[in-house]
Structure formats: structure tokens, C-alpha cells
Chain A
């Protein structure tokens, strides 16, 4: 047949934004922060094994020990190196959540301006403590709940031994209550996150994601 074949337009690949909101306050020092660092490296390594995921998952790292601090702005995992986190300071949890939610909104505006399709963002809060007394955590909790209700993001809360579960329950959306991390098994938790990200980024439009079970690393607080 004399006709040529259709040519293709180049669109950027769909992105899957993830914010890791990491408690690096003083109480995390010693074994907890060491295990967190190792878990984070394992996470990046594992996502990088999957080409599609490493080009789709955009990771932002925010730590809060003393004040919320952006260690890494949204970047695809293929070009990310694991940072080394150290623990110090107090726990401005409310400020950190607000910071993460603002960061996400900015990123989403960027996507929209550039015609980049994106999946529902994930925010992953990991903490071993309770917000500072003066931290605006109730306001942050309201924002989280509203965003979840409007299905604008998925908010996961992971409590490390020593965390104030009563407060975390008030922060976490009711449909996704906080879970206790098994001991300091950050590695299993991050490998679960990696597996979940691979599923989300490889998924077909319109498809519901079936996440792997969290039983390997988490205990549901009853």
C-alpha cells in the first residue's frame, strides 16, 4: 500500500509523585536512623531495577528534625542517590505535613503547565514521636483528611516504636489508619513501597491498584 504509517507525537511519560516525610528528630538517633538510611537506599535500588517505575516515580524527600527541610525536590528515581540522614532536634510534624502538601500542589501545577499526566500522589509519613506542643498538627490533619476525601492524594502513616499513636490516629485519614512498623524493619517497608510504586506506574488507565499486603512489615493498631 502506498500510504505511509502514522507518526507519533512525543509526550512525557506519566509521573507518580511521592513525598517521603521522614521524622529525623533527636529520638530517632542510633539504630532507628541507621535502619531508616539503609531502608531508603534499598528502596531506591529496588525501584531503579524497574525501568518504567524509575522513570515515572518522582520522589521528594522532606525531613523534620528541628524544622522541615527539603533534602530532595521531586526527581525521577533513575537519577537519585540515597542521602545520608542524621537525627537531631524536635518534631515539627504539623509544619512538615503542611510543607509536604504545599510542595505537592506546586509540583502538580508544574505538571499541568507542561502537559504531564500524573497519578494520584502518595505522601508517606514516618515518625517515632509526637508533634511539638506548638505544632499546628490539627490544621495539617484537617488538610490531610480533606485531600483524602477529595481523593487528591493517598496519605500513609507509619508509626515507629515510641510514636504517639493517639495523635497519629487523628492525623491519618480514617480510611487509612496508621500502622506500627515491625521493630525497625524499614527495609521491608520500603521494599513494599517500591513494589507498590512499580504497580502504580505500570498500571493501565482506569485500573484500580491492588497493593501488596502490608503484613510483611506493619501491624495494624486495633
Chain B
């Protein structure tokens, strides 16, 4: 096992007061050398965005690990079937194409579910953050707000994409947005030691807006938690305690999700 991965979603206090469900969702797949993780934040204004967030994440994971794409392209390992080393970082274009295909898959899944539930795809509005991490390269995909922060060996944590907020504090892009392909952000980077993917509920406490700097004292304890020689359950309990803490709830009433990966090889 070369990666330690944990994730947790905590419902926002405002959502609790209004009797809304937690509209964030995250999950990951871990194959030997490779981690694929996804976080989605359902829009408060969309009727079934909790369903949308979960469906978007699960569709993403099954698509990316389903190897359809990777079987076609010998540059990729068939991760889920026969894990092997993925040596060379893929060109940015390849990941962009992958992200575009992913958007279509997600939209198809949401549209089908909308028919089942007799509602509109927009009722599933959510953002989507995706990371693909191997020991030799890293790729991030972002639709809408929230953030991906990474840290490579001996460096400070860095924001992969500037949060996509449009001009105003209450605007963002969703996977169902018409212009999603032009709005989606994609980046391929050298291998990363530590990865933090989070929904926008944590932006204001983790990122300094004046220069979009990832705040090291926010990320350092999270990374330390993964480094500790503790069980997976204990690590998850730590993350849960933090995300449900009174101190954090005083700063945001929104749902909060964190997915953390540490390369331990």
C-alpha cells in the first residue's frame, strides 16, 4: 500500500436547522499505486442535490477505474483489473479529453436518474472535484468551487486551481451547466506527497482569498494525522472530530467534506 486515504462529510449547521440533508459526498478507489478520489457539493438551491452529488462521485469513480478509457490507451495501466506501474505523466490534453468524457458520463447518469425520479437534471446540480494520484504523476479536475490542495516533497501546500466562483461570492459552475466543458479546469503535475480535496464550506478557513494561498497551519495537522501510526478508524475519527467541531461550525454553516491522501511509499 503506497497511499493512505481518508474522507469524511459533515452536515452544515444551517442545513440541520433547515432540515436539509448533507449535500456533499465523497468517495475514492485505491489500487496499489493509484488513488482516484472525487468530492461533489450539491447546490443548496437544487431539490435533489444530495442524490446528484453521490451519483456524480460514483459515476466518476466507476468511469475512471472502469478502464474503458485506459484500455484504449496503452499509456495508462488497467488500474482496476491488473494494477501496474504508471510511469510517465500523461499529456495535459489526454487528461482534458478524459475530463470531457467524464462530464458527459456524469451528465448522462444524472439525466437517466432524472427520468427515473421524474425531475430535471438541474435538480441534481453539484460541483465536482477529481484527483488521480500515482507515485509518478498527479492529475486534478475541477468543476465549480471547492478546492484541491497538494504538497510535493519539501514544498508548502499549494492550491491547484483558483476557486471557480465567477465574479461574485454566490456563483459557481455545476456539472449540469451548459458551458461545463469550457469551465472545467484540468492540470497534470509531478507526483505529490499530500493531497487535500475539500468542498467550498472549508474555503474560507483554509485559503487566503487575497492571494489564493493555501494556509499551511490548516493543512499541516491533516497531513500529520495521516502520517501517524494509527488505524484507519482512528484517522477517520480525527477528521470527523475536526469537521464536526464547534470551532469550525462557528465559521461556516455549510456542509464540509475533506478527502485526504498521503503517499507513504
Residues of A within 8 A of B (CB): 1-9, 11-12, 14, 114-120, 152, 200, 203-209
B204 and A11 contacting across the interface, CB-CB below 8 Å? yes
Contact of A11 among B208, B220, B222, B253 (CB under 8 A): B208
Known A6-B206, A9-B206; contact A206-B145, beta-carbon cutoff 8 A: yes
Which residues of chain B have C-beta atoms less than 8 A from A114's C-beta? Answer: 210
A208-B171 Cα distance, complex, nearest whole Å: 9
B219 and A6 contacting across the interface, CB-CB below 8 Å? yes
Shortest A153–chain B CB gap in Å is 10
B217 and A120 contacting across the interface, CB-CB below 8 Å? no
B211 and A7 contacting across the interface, CB-CB below 8 Å? no
A19-B249 Cα distance, complex, nearest whole Å: 32
B172 and A205 contacting across the interface, CB-CB below 8 Å? yes
Known A1-B225, A206-B145, A206-B174; contact A119-B168, beta-carbon cutoff 8 A: yes
* 4 A-B pairs with least C-beta separation: A115-B210, A7-B217, A9-B215, A115-B209
Which residues of chain B have C-beta atoms less than 8 A from A116's C-beta? Answer: 209
Q: Count chain A CB atoms within 10 A of each CB in B168, B200, B217 and give the residue with the most.
A: B168
In the complex, which residue of chain B has the Cβ closest to the Cβ of A4? B221
Known A1-B238, A204-B14; contact A14-B205, beta-carbon cutoff 8 A: no
Q: Count chain B CB atoms within 10 A of each CB in A9, A12, A120, A207 and give the residue with the most.
A: A9
Which residues of chain A have C-beta atoms less than 8 A from B125's C-beta? Answer: 206
Which residues of chain B have C-beta atoms less than 8 A from A206's C-beta? Answer: 41, 43-45, 125, 127, 144-145, 170-172, 174, 200
Shortest B79–chain A CB gap in Å is 31
Instruction: Say whether B247 faces chain A, with CB atoms less than 8 Å apart.
Output: yes
For this complex, 18 residue pairs linking A to B, each with C-beta atoms less than 8 Å apart, are A1-B238, A3-B221, A4-B221, A5-B221, A6-B218, A6-B220, A8-B218, A9-B208, A11-B204, A11-B210, A117-B165, A117-B169, A119-B169, A120-B167, A152-B167, A204-B14, A205-B169, A205-B170
Q: 14 extra interchain contacts, Cβ-Cβ under 8 A, other than A3-B228, A6-B219, A11-B204?
A: A2-B228, A4-B224, A6-B206, A7-B218, A8-B251, A14-B169, A119-B168, A119-B169, A203-B44, A204-B44, A206-B45, A206-B144, A206-B170, A206-B171
In the complex, which residue of chain B has the Cβ closest to the Cβ of A200? B170
A119 and B170 contacting across the interface, CB-CB below 8 Å? yes
A205 and B145 contacting across the interface, CB-CB below 8 Å? yes
In the complex, which residue of chain B has the Cβ closest to the Cβ of A16? B169
B168 and A120 contacting across the interface, CB-CB below 8 Å? yes
Q: Count chain B CB atoms within 10 A of each CB in A6, A206, A207 and give the residue with the most.
A: A206
Which residues of chain A have C-beta atoms less than 8 A from B205's C-beta? Answer: 6, 8-9
Contact of A207 among B45, B209, B238 (CB under 8 A): B45
Which residues of chain A have C-beta atoms less than 8 A from B206's C-beta? Answer: 6, 8-9
Which residues of chain A have C-beta atoms less than 8 A from B167's C-beta? Answer: 120, 152
A91-B242 Cα distance, complex, nearest whole Å: 58
Which residues of chain B have C-beta atoms less than 8 A from A120's C-beta? Answer: 167-168, 170-171
Which residues of chain B have C-beta atoms less than 8 A from A11's C-beta? Answer: 204, 207-210
B44 and A207 contacting across the interface, CB-CB below 8 Å? yes
A5-B251 Cα distance, complex, nearest whole Å: 15
Which residues of chain B have C-beta atoms less than 8 A from A1's C-beta? Answer: 225, 228, 230, 234, 237-238
B215 and A203 contacting across the interface, CB-CB below 8 Å? no
Shortest B210–chain A CB gap in Å is 3
Shortest A212–chain B CB gap in Å is 16
In the complex, which residue of chain A has the Cβ closest to the Cβ of B225? A3
A118 and B169 contacting across the interface, CB-CB below 8 Å? yes
Shortest B46–chain A CB gap in Å is 9
A5 and B245 contacting across the interface, CB-CB below 8 Å? yes
Shortest B183–chain A CB gap in Å is 13
Contact of B221 among A6, A152, A205 (CB under 8 A): A6
Which residues of chain B have C-beta atoms less than 8 A from A8's C-beta? Answer: 205-206, 215, 218, 251
Instruction: Say whether B58 faces chain A, with CB atoms less than 8 Å apart.
Output: no
Which residues of chain A have C-beta atoms less than 8 A from B209's C-beta? Answer: 11-12, 115-117
A207-B242 Cα distance, complex, nearest whole Å: 26
